Amino acid sequence: MSESVLYDVAVVGGGPAGLTAAIFAAKQGAQTILIDSKIDLGQKILLSGGGRCNILPTEVDPTTYVTDSSVHTLRNILRSWPLDEVRAFLESDVKLKLKTDPVSGKLHVTGGGKAARHSLLELAEHAGVKIKRRFQVVRLGGSDPFFLTCPEKRTIRATRVILACGGLSYPQTGSDGLALEILRSREHQIVPPYPALTPLIGARSTHRILSGITMTVTVTARSETEEASCRGGFLFTHRGYSGPAILNTSHVVARARQRREQAQVFVSWTDRTQDEWRTLLTEGKKTIRGALIHEMPDRVADQLLQEISLHEGRVATLEKERRDQLIRLLTNYPLPITRNDGFDSAEVTGGGLHLREIDQKTMQSKRLSNLYICGEMLDAFGPIGGTNFLWAFVTGRRAGEAAGKASVS
């Protein structure tokens, strides 16, 4: 059964990229429908920042994004809508109240994810977007027009289609990767997806007693082909390790597993250099434990000392070999991990549609006219802190404007 209406633009996916695309398509005068598999769409917006919705970064650095595609293309796309203009859109058009967290420096939405989703949906409906819930697209047929078909064989027709279906992260929100398979079946190049911004699973049961402890550390993840380093928050969990420093480097572990390579993760527990630690562990009358707990939580200090069987003593009497061994643990600790967590815990999906497959100015597929792709489906993701919302807004706007203009020209 097919709807009688032939829409100018059909947007598939009701996340931040899809909502933005639908808004800008409708603003061009295009008859626009937004389709989502859930009745409660935009669920990833609700999950962001633990519900607080860290919606934008405070600055843009394209070099912090990860892609197997052209870094030049990624940079051009990001810079096409300056950060201050995106913020102005969110504050003026979407009518969100944004505030900077004085501790983390992150930009949050007053009212959290609920407020952000409500306001984006309200703007879309005000712009004239028809919203179709509980319609899971399992087939994209035709091309002039397109036929979007759900499992019950119901069909929506549209002259132009924007895919904003996300990747595979948080599958409970509706991200099942089917849209990437649809693109693959239409001979688009897909960089193999992998979970990104995930916790790491630990191998050492003795670390479980540290669960709940947070620190600021430097994490370096290294595989046979790449390396990533991040200074930031670190959290011991009952299963392993989390926090921004872990999440922002976890993709190295995920990609190494995908390539069947070995990966290692190292931690520098403080901001002290090896030379600074050597001085601290040589001079004065303090105890070894006293020197450590001045710089880190005492339970972590005790765990490190226990691991090398270094019991109470004074720094002045510490043998050089033992001092060097302790310094290595303090500045280059090999974190005992088994793997990264999976898509259920991944904040974003790495990989996706290779950027060479789209026109960077319109987000239109180079292989299939009138098909546009935006958001997490594309081969690019940034660190935690609003960078992926920014990517969704920028690519969603480009796709929506281009599809909308083409429909009414």
21-31 per-position pLDDT tens digit: 999 999 999 99
Question: What secondary structure, in 3-state letters, does the chain show?
Answer: CEEEEEEEEEEECCCHHHHHHHHHHHHCCCCEEEECCCCCCCHHHHHHHHHCCEEECCCCCHHHCECCCCHHHHHHHHCCCCHHHHHHHHHHHCCCCEEECCCCCCEEECCHHHHHHHHHHHHHHHCCCEEECCCCCCEEEECCCEEEECCCCCEEEEEEEEECCCCCCCHHHCCCCHHHHHHHHCCCCEEEEEEECCCEEECCHHHHHHCCCEEEEEEEEEECCCEEEEEEEEEECCCEEECHHHHCCHHHHHHHHHHCCCEEEEEECCCCCHHHHHHHCCCCCCEHHHHHHCCCCHHHHHHHHHHCCCCCCEHHHCCHHHHHHHHHHHHCEECCEEEECCCCCCCEEEEEECHHHECCCCCEECCCCCEEECHHHECCECCCCCHHHHHHHHHHHHHHHHHHHHHHC
Mean pLDDT is lowest, of 68-72, 137-141, 282-286, for 282-286
- Claim to verify: residue 333 and residue 204 sit in the same structural domain: yes
**Phi, psi at 148, each rounded to 5°:** -105, 120
- Claim to verify: residue 296 and residue 381 sit in the same structural domain: no
Mean of per-residue pLDDT scores for the chain: 94
Which residue, of 312, 341, 370, is where some domain finishes?
341
CATH of the domain at 31: 3.50.50.60
- Claim to verify: residue 148 and residue 90 sit in the same structural domain: yes
Per-residue pLDDT, 1 = 58
CA nearest to 184, candidates 365, 381, 407, 383: 365
More confident residue, 210 or 203: 210
- Claim to verify: residue 83 and residue 173 sit in the same structural domain: yes
Q: What is the pLDDT of residues 363-405, one digit of tens each?
A: 999 999 999 999 999 999 999 999 999 999 999 999 999 999 9
Per-residue pLDDT, 56 = 94
Which residue, of 320, 341, 362, is where some domain finishes?
341
Counting the structural domains of the chain, the total is 2
- Claim to verify: residue 88 and residue 232 sit in the same structural domain: no
Which residue, of 324, 341, 358, is where some domain finishes?
341
- Categorize the per-residue pLDDT at 313 as very low, low, confident or very high, splitting at 50, 70 and 90: confident
- Claim to verify: residue 6 and residue 53 sit in the same structural domain: yes
- Categorize the per-residue pLDDT at 177 as very low, low, confident or very high, splitting at 50, 70 and 90: confident
Per-residue pLDDT, 4 = 72
- Claim to verify: residue 56 and residue 151 sit in the same structural domain: yes
Per-residue pLDDT, 2 = 62
Residues 6 or more apart in contact with residue 162 via CB below 8 angstroms: 9, 10, 11, 12, 18, 21, 22, 25, 363, 372, 373, 374, 399, 400, 403
Q: What is the mean pLDDT of residues 42-69?
A: 90
- Claim to verify: residue 337 and residue 206 sit in the same structural domain: yes
- Claim to verify: residue 258 and residue 325 sit in the same structural domain: yes
Q: What is the mean pLDDT of residues 92-96?
A: 97
Q: Is the pTM of this model over 0.85?
A: yes
- Claim to verify: residue 39 and residue 139 sit in the same structural domain: yes
- Categorize the per-residue pLDDT at 44 as very low, low, confident or very high, splitting at 50, 70 and 90: confident
Residue range of the domain that includes 187: 2-194+349-408
- Claim to verify: residue 107 and residue 24 sit in the same structural domain: yes
More confident residue, 39 or 237: 237
- Claim to verify: residue 20 and residue 79 sit in the same structural domain: yes
